Chains A and B, each alone.
Chain A
Amino acid sequence: MTRGLVTRLTVIAVVVAVIVLLGFSMTDYHRGLGARVGIYFIAILGLNILIGYTGQISIGHGAFMAIGGYTTAIMSNYHHTNLIATLPLAFAVTFLCGILVGVPSLRFRGVYLALATFALAVSVPQLPLKWSKWTGGSNGIRTFTTPSNTWLYEVTWICAGLAFVAAWLILRGRTGRAFRSIRDSEIAAASSGVSLPIYKTLAFGISAAFAGVAGSLFVLVTNGFAQPNEFGVILSLQILIGAAVAGLGSLYGTIVGALFVGLLPQLSSDAPLIGSSHGQDVVFGLIVILVMLLLPNGVAGLLATIDSRVKSAIKSDPTAS
């Protein structure tokens, strides 16, 4: 085993241990918050596969979260399906939706793709309002049972762990190489035999499926209600912010991105300097801007910089060799 791999495995083991230990020691309220962080973790992971590894920008992942969330709520409400069983179902449904969205997006590139997916983020939450007979309109639709925060914390982080391993396995092999080659140059990828249509739609499908699972957990964490308001444009933007803070093209910053968007709005609502209920947005906006000005490549970029500094320090140190 190389030294880098050992370090990474150690870091992962420490993070897993912290998550497990926190699960035992936290209050019920904080377990709810922890579950939210886990949900953002899954969604950011999915978005990173698409933006960071395949180079396709999406500002519409809130839409896939909405589809996943409504899948869970509708199945549970009408058919009393076991909540755990709705998760793979949401995964499958949003995977198909992602493929469907991926097909037309083959024609768009760059900014146009970003805005087309943004259209999705805006339009999908409006649809339950139109067909309110089945979806409960703006009141939303509620799952048949609502789980406890402890259940949520456990299920969310188990899903997050599975998602992380799945993402790692997908990205390290043939598929991951194909994704990265598309990101770096589509023409070069195509001329080396990578099928652009297959891999681009696949990336969309996988990424959407991750968001879908996150969405159905998101519904459970909001007392089992699937409501159009909860899945607004802001949610899509939050996931994007999380992915940017985490750093694109690396999985190791994801936890920081998830903590950032999961906890910062809660923390900044207690910010003393403004002391009104609107201080939250001011502080959150300021910090988002500052982080991007200081770390344009996110936490992963910071880690890479530190890594290369350490390596060059070791190299230049004659006693080390």
Chain B
Amino acid sequence: MLGLTRKTKVSTGASLPVLVGLGAGCLFLLIGSLSSDIFAQQTVAGLAQGAIFASLALALVLIYRATEVINFAQGEMAMATTYIGYQLTLWHVTYWLAFFLTLVIAFVLGVVIYGVLIRPVQHRSVIALVIVTVGLFILIDGLVTWKWGADLKFMQAPFGNQVYHAGGVSFSRQDLGVLLVSIMSVILLWVLFQFTKLGLAMRAAALRPAAASLVGVRVDWMLAVGWGLAAVLGAVAGLMTEPTQFLQPTMMQAILLYAFAAAVLGGLESPAGSVVGGLALGVFLNLVGQYVGFATSELRLPIAFAVLLVVLLLKPTGLFGRKQVRRV
């Protein structure tokens, strides 16, 4: 029904031309950064921005792999958890303690949302599932605006405002910090999935729910943990967005759109693809904005999606997706 039939065979991994293309892109960035200071600066800023897209895109991919739903509320969940972090700092919790407390709260929130809202409709109708996340989007937006208001709020800057200089290039400490935290959380997640029993069970539950439950994996719990982890990644993205965008109910909406683009670029099924897609998109948008006069800020979103459409036309399942075999 509706073309969203269950897959019978899933495999991921980039093909050779894609890997060669990515390598060439990295080489281009490296040479450009060595020959021009502005280029280097824009690349680093783009990576920091892209790391945020990557975290949120990875959250989308986690949820898509676990429950086959595009979570429209992912950005708003991230925004809401960032407000919770803000509330904690208002209660004189230090920034980094508030940061980790927020992640815990986000995890619980994700698990609860899965259990209460998603599980009841999961196998009944794909459209109903999408609409539930859209409803959640509207609901969270309303709740946050009601509790904290629509005006800008400020948290203390987690990384300070220092700027480092290296050979004529200046990097802001904030960009580096954002990049570091986002990449760290992605790596931690990868370790969890690859090297722990919990990760193995989660992968099994997502790929082969029936077989997994036969070998004693509690599939529902694993999917719930998947939603929780996705919410945690979203919270990281939200907290890392705050230093540049400040707190407002609409702060994650544009970022969610870029994250969609990044996730689809990477192939929706592939965690590695979403991270590469996010970073590439961030750098690409920054460089295009710097060097192409035509591409004014109004065209930032359309350009991101034009890239997405071109990639999809060339590779309909994204850069890292493999063709799926479907049962007729």
Contacts and interface: CB of A to CB of B under 8 A. Distances in A.
A196 B59 CA distance: 35
Interface string A113-131: 1111011101100110110
A51 interface: yes
Which of B146, B257, B318 is the most central at the interface, judged by chain A CB atoms within 10 Å of its CB? Answer: B146
A284 B328 contact: no
A188 B326 CA distance: 14
Contacts of B120: 293
Contacts of A292: 121, 128, 131-132, 135
Contacts of B137: 237, 285
A123 B125 CA distance: 28
Contacts of A127: 302
B250 to A, nearest CB: 11
B313 A51 contact: no
B305 interface: yes
A112 interface: yes
A112 B299 contact: no
A286 to B, nearest CB: 6
Contacts of B302: 122-123, 126-127, 130
Interface string A278-313: 111111111111001100110000000000000000
Given A123-B302, A244-B127, A292-B128, A130 B138 contact: no
Interface residues of A, number: 54
B52 interface: no
Contacts of A57: 2-4, 127
Interface string A242-278: 0110001000000000000000000000000010101
Interface in B290-328: 296, 298-299, 301-302, 305-306, 308-309, 312-313, 316-318, 328
A210 to B, nearest CB: 18
A240 interface: yes
Chain B's interface size range is: 35 or more
A107 interface: yes
B145 A281 contact: yes
A170 to B, nearest CB: 20
B142 A240 contact: no
Interface in B237-253: none
A187 interface: yes
Which of A109, A127, A237, A292 is the most central at the interface, judged by chain B CB atoms within 10 Å of its CB? Answer: A292
A321 interface: no
Nearest to A118: B260
Given A126-B298, A126-B302, A293-B121, A185 B328 contact: yes
A285 B135 contact: yes
11 contacts: A107-B313, A110-B2, A115-B70, A123-B305, A183-B1, A241-B131, A244-B128, A274-B146, A288-B134, A288-B138, A293-B121
**A-B interface, 7 closest residue pairs, ranked by CB to CB distance from nearest:** A281-B142, A285-B139, A288-B135, A119-B305, A285-B138, A282-B142, A296-B128
